[in-house]
Chain A
Amino acid sequence: MSLNSIGYLMKEAGRSLWRNSWMALASVSTVTIALFVLAVFVVVSVNVNHVTAMLESQVEIRVFIKPHVDRRRELALMQEAKTWPGIRKIQFFTKQQAAEALKQEFPDQHTLFQLIQKSNPLFDGYNVYARAPSDIRTIAGHFARQPIVHNVVYQGTVVKRLTRLATVLKWSGWVVEALLGVATLFIIINTIRLAVFARRREIQVMRLVGATNWFIRWPFILEGLTIGLMGAVAADAAVALGYHWVLRQAAVSLPFWPMAGFQVVLLHTTVFTVIGGLVMGALASVVALHRFLRV
């Protein structure tokens, strides 16, 4: 295809979008909404994966000991545990220390601390660090069988739940996205149809003088792609602003919560929305043109 033709095609696509600017705007808006929802799912699932990955990297088990157990028995178990395979480090903490740690983690919860100080409901216990994530389950099992142990908490359960949550999110995301995608497709298809209809005379002349079908199609496909891309850019801008705000809020009110970084999230959403927008735009144009260009 020559440079002349490329110039011509771009000009035609632009002209057509301009001429049907209200319909084009409606299309861009629906694409934006659909892609925004997609991007929100992406943001959430990137964050869930981020937390999961972080928890998996922390090979930590927390063992709580039943109340009113002798301090010597507690320390004896710790000594014994040190000889078990797979344990890298083990740390004893008392319930007073646990209360202190809690106070540092949630400095604003004053009523909670008053309550704890009156009668501390927390437990003594150990922080156990495994050599590898695969050891966690065995070590946790060992501790759980000890008579003085109240319960064992390790990230395994949390990780498992988070993984399950991520899967649910992913699938429900795809279902919602598919529905929105179909609705969006119809709107773009209509916009392109309108453009084709507005240019039916030109199309007729083009066919008579021997323009190739692709030459006739390209302006409309460009138009569809432009709509898709504009929707993607708008959705990304909204997500960027939104996530930036969320990060700032989270830094204040959820400081202990590990949020996925701004750039990582934006990279993911951009890839998804741009590909999604272009695919929707192109698909809609091809569908809209299909019947028109049968010779």
Chain B
Amino acid sequence: MIRLEGVTKRYPNGHQGLVNISMTVHRGEFVFLVGPSGAGKSTLIRLLYGEERPTSGEIVIDQFRLNGMTWRQLPRLRRQLGIVFQDGKLLPTRTVFQNVAFAMEVVGASRKDIHKRVPQVLELVGLARRRDHYPEELSGGEQQRLGIARALVNHPSYILADEPTGNLDPETAAGIMKLFQEINRRGATVVMATHAKDLVNQMQKRVVVIEHGSIVRDDAKGVYAYES
């Protein structure tokens, strides 16, 4: 469970942060964060994976209390999270297989486990036949799938995605969204910041609307709507 209570984030440079955000995401939920650019969606995602600390308020993810978390504890939280970015953050000098394997290597997985798990994940995201290609040889959609495969490979309980379909054409974006739906169906909780209006409306999932750093709507089967 993810729980935020009165979370405020202020930046010294006056950049839009968050104001008194309270929300709860239960296990197995699929939550869209929508709102205008710069409303604070990305800030919220960054707070969830501990990249930034709230100015005030409390953030709890399962047994992890993020407020007092030291840099020693942070890796343990991150192993529960799969994080997907718009730009993928792929390693250009490594193949598809190596990119995914890398995420397992650096948390100390054995070679045997890596060779068993990576093909499974590549199969799931539909990149099994591209395993020896380099990221630059992939299409935008494939690159995004690779980023998702890497986020999934260590069996995280939560998937945090920041604009995962940001620079994809609508058809490809729909495919990616289906993939997230499949991941969610298999038990992972998904929190996604997005601008993909049509897709959000199709999915009939929980929608949290953020404007000027505050939650203005939170609908269980919501639609993408906000005043800009």
Contacts and interface: CB of A to CB of B under 8 A. Distances in A.
B108 A5 contact: yes
Interface in A183-209: 201-202, 204-209
- Which secondary structure dominates where chain B touches chain A? loop
Interface residues of A, number: 21
B102 A215 contact: no
Contacts of A215: 106-108
Interface in B91-144: 91-92, 102-103, 105-111
B83 interface: yes
Contacts of B110: 2, 4
A5 B113 CA distance: 13
Contacts of A2: 108, 110
Interface centre among A1, A204, A207 (most CB of B within 10 A): A207
A5 B76 CA distance: 17
Contact of A204 (B49, B50, B89, B105): B89
Contacts of A8: 105-106
Nearest to B113: A4
B107 A208 contact: no
Contact of B107 (A201, A202, A211): A211
A217 to B, nearest CB: 12
Contacts, number: 63
Contacts of B49: 208
A12 to B, nearest CB: 9
B89 A201 contact: yes
Contacts of A5: 108
A210 B108 contact: no
A202 B91 contact: yes
Contacts of A210: 74-79, 81, 107, 154
A294 interface: yes
User: Chain B, interface size: which category?
Assistant: 20 to 34
Contact of B111 (A4, A206, A211): A4
Contact of B154 (A201, A209, A213): A209
Interface in A36-82: none
B103 A4 contact: no
Given A4-B111, A201-B91, A204-B89, A212 B102 contact: no
A295 to B, nearest CB: 4
A213 B72 CA distance: 7
A206 B105 CA distance: 9
Contacts of B154: 209-210
Contacts of A213: 71-72, 75
Interface centre among A2, A205, A215 (most CB of B within 10 A): A205
A5 B50 CA distance: 25
A295 B50 contact: yes
A209 B107 contact: yes
25 contacts: A4-B110, A4-B111, A201-B89, A201-B91, A201-B92, A204-B89, A205-B91, A205-B103, A205-B106, A207-B75, A207-B78, A208-B78, A209-B78, A209-B79, A209-B154, A210-B76, A210-B77, A210-B79, A210-B81, A212-B75, A213-B75, A215-B106, A215-B107, A295-B50, A295-B51
The 9 closest A-B pairs by CB, nearest first: A210-B78, A210-B79, A211-B106, A295-B71, A210-B75, A209-B103, A206-B106, A212-B75, A5-B108
Interface of A: 1-2, 4-5, 8, 201-202, 204-213, 215-216, 294-295
